[in-house]
Structure 1
Amino acid sequence: MARLPGGLPVWRGRRLLGGPAAAPSPPALPAVDANHHAALHAVVLDALKFADVAAPHSVHLGGAAAVRFDGGALVIGLPLAWGLSADQMRVLLTHELALPASRHPDLVRNLLDARRRAPASEKAAIRHARLLAATEPLLAEAEQVRDAAAITAAGGGLSAVEDAARALLKAAAIAAAFSAFAASPLASGTMSAFSTGSLPTTGAIRAEDLHAGWRLRLSRWGAPSADLDRGDLAARHPGLAEELRAPTDDPLVTLDPDAAHIDELDVPALRSLAAQVLAASDEPWVRLADLPVESYLPDVERRARQYVEAVNEVLGRAPDGRDELAGTLLRRPVDVERARHGLPPAEAEAEAPPPWMGAALLAVVVEYALLRKGWRREHPLLPRRLLSPDSASVLDLNELVRSDPGALRTHLG
């Protein structure tokens, strides 16, 4: 009886997948080949050699921060392509491409990919549970092979183990940060309703420049990784578990200067990538860069009012003017945040809060005050970086948070 890695009979593997795999059909996504995004294509060719597997029938850019197979096509998430160096991308692709030796590699890969799909119904959940139970030995063997291949792609040796772990950790950080970004109300098109000109009034939109906005965000500040579970990563990568659990700061997500070059993307390409990430919708395509102040003002106002009300709670009364409001936010940010969440003041602080903490709260209130005076964001996705009403000057409140918190008071009004 023919068996797959992990001892799973071939016939049972095919049954778990619900029948034969669909015929390969490349998705409507930007192609990656010798003529399009050639630098990334060269990294893919290197990874195929290290993984020692047959080439996919096509390679494409994808919208999500993930590497996956879609009908036999390899799809590489654009956020990963921007955020990983070429060397780290080679490690990640090698890891995802590598498979245990088998006469049925497509079946093994389809089984492993099927484990990642969220069940859409109760019946599907039952089938998925059976798949998880049946393929556990297969997955364990596959992860050992993939980890070893990733280490080889990183150069081999002890230092390569750390480099491979760093690449996978960074990829996970990018995936978490981009998912949080794409789910935010403004980026996902679920912000409060607004009305201006020809733009929709429901707040439901499809942002064609979603990825351009993400790139702009990273170029300005970077993004902290969100909900990065090192324990889960270590469990999924047994060959790199010790390195993944090492007590280091989670990586800040930025644009990597050593990333493989990605060619400029046209509007149809950007729309196809955004459509992969955003909820299915028939709403018109718009540009985030063109959204008016009304699209983000309600959220800024909501947060600013929360902080003012929290200051009232901390003081037991309304503050006596802007100086007392600003001073309370700057000096007692922990108490303000606790009051905002309905908690009593802390009995005693273990240590003084960082100086930027209170300034960050005050910057939200200052942004709202300036927006009400006719200022607007330089870009809707760049909170607290504001253009004056005549567009003649830029005020970066985030820079004041870092360098001169006291100067925020002068802009409170």
Structure 2
Amino acid sequence: MGALPGPEEIELAPWAARHTFPSPGDVDREFARIADAHPRCRLERLGVSRGGRPVTTLTVPGGPRHVVVVGGPHPNEPAGHLTVLVLARLLTRTSAWTGDIGCTWHLVSCIDPDGAALNPWTGMPLDLGAYHRHFYRPPLAAQPEWTFPAPGFSRPLPETTILHELLTAVRPEVYVDLHNADFGGAFFVVNRPHPTLSGALRDAAARHRIPLGREGIDTLGWAKDGPGVHVMPPVGELVVTRPGADGPSHGASSLHHLPPGAIGVMPEVPLWPARALTAPSSGPCATGHPELMRQTAALLHERCRLLQEFLDRVLPHLPGDAEVFTDAAADTLRSAASCAALWHTMAAGPVTRDQYAAAADGAACFPLRAAGMLLRATASLPASSRPGVERTVPAEVFEDWIKDLQATAPAPYPLHAVVGLQTAAALTAAAVGP
């Protein structure tokens, strides 16, 4: 494998100066300029989203081995938008990662441009208050990443179908789905163990000075291919059926639908380092991490209860166009309640510090996400249509909770570290191959 690019080779202008991220439209416009400047590249509209926005790919030829990189799998995870631009600039400047290793690259700007348009915080300097106040993440059944066909689930979204058709047509040997997390260390999700890839990914994290995260909120209990590398479970172990629902609430992931023998990687790179957390007490009456896990589960349960009661009261008074936020907030609260139940069960046995840290991040962030979306849902509600106190409930708790979070949160990672690690993960996976 060739030498990975250093920080000086990662072109982040103009976003690094403002610590912001490009929109899918920004990515598409830059892709168009690159394609015009490099006629061997091909810019293609793969299809359109439910809201009529384009889903595009830039193909950089280089050989018979195909690599697909998705820049925006979730709309609240914009780091990949910048990473696919960095990759496009790098791949068209040198043959080290195309012709020299025989790879043709297919860079997808964003798979959920409608959701990305509802996250205006990505164009602001990175700040916890703005991030949560302007936050949007759709319900599981409305996420292209989680609506691939699965047993009992056959409702893929148009954007899911677009990505699925690209994977079917290209049949990549390597697939990289660029995710970012909120806090902590970097971790990776792979579709199967790999004899050399997992170690190379850990080396890339060390090189960019982002510590490995041993646990993620979504990966507690998953098998590992060494520290910081989690193996995606079979879809049957992941699909959730809500009580009273007609079938599963979501489908499979893109990692479940790769060609036989392909390697798939999801780099989960955090925007902020790990927070300062309460440590177990010492001495003869020490509570340890299990007790802290129980406290964390109880905290999350109580915050979810407060927001759910607010949502139930205000929902009949909201206009129909608010449902994009209320549906997403309700799904966030359901997911958070499931996490709280899991953490309470885990607290009956040994709990590691990393598991507790992942839970503590979830207990802090899930309610803030839901509260932010509820504030957006009620922003245009006329005063005459609601009891006077109702709108103040999420506003008041949002301010209290965001102050608590900010009190334990460090400054964000520099963009060259976040994007550099995602870039290194993609290049490493392409060079190592299946």
TM-score, normalised to structure 1, is 0.26
Name whichever structure is richer in helix by fraction: 1
Specify the structure having the higher radius of gyration (Cα): 1
Structure having greater relative contact order (Cα 8 Å, sep ≥ 6): 2
TM-score, normalised to structure 2, is 0.25
